[in-house]
C-alpha cells in the first residue's frame, strides 16, 4: 500500500503539472479576461488564478464579478 508521504508527493507533482499546463494554455489566449474565464472553467479558484497571472485574489474576484454582470445584461 502506498504511504501517505508518497501519495502527497504524487499529488504535489500532479498539481505542478496542471499549473504548468494551465499556464501554457493561458499564454495562448490573448486577453486577461479570456485567461481568467479559461482558468475558472478549468476549476481554478480566485487565489490560484491570481497566483498564475501575478495579481491578487481580490482583483480576480472583482473581474469575475464584472464578467458575470456583463453576461446577465
pLDDT digits (tens, 9 = 90+) for 5-31: 888 888 888 887 777 777 666 666 678
Rg (CA), the chain: 15
pTM of structure: 0.63
The CA-CA-CA angle for residues 65, 42, 8, to 5°, reads: 120
Neighbouring C-beta atoms of residue 53, cutoff 10 Å:
17
pLDDT per residue over 20-62, tens digit each?
Answer: 777 666 666 678 888 888 888 878 899 988 988 899 999 999 9
Quote the cell numbers at residue 64: 469575475
DSSP 30: S
In terms of C-beta density within 10 A (0-12 exposed, 13-18 middle, 19 or more buried), how is residue 5 classed? exposed
Amino acid at each position: 500500500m502506498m504511504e501517505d508521504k508518497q501519495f502527497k508527493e504524487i499529488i504535489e507533482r500532479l498539481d505542478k503539472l496542471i499549473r504548468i499546463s494551465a499556464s501554457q494554455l493561458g499564454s495562448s489566449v490573448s486577453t486577461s479576461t479570456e485567461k481568467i474565464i479559461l482558468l475558472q472553467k478549468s476549476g481554478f479558484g480566485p487565489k490560484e488564478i491570481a497566483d498564475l497571472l501575478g495579481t491578487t485574489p481580490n482583483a480576480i474576484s472583482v473581474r469575475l464579478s464584472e464578467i458575470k454582470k456583463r453576461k446577465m445584461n
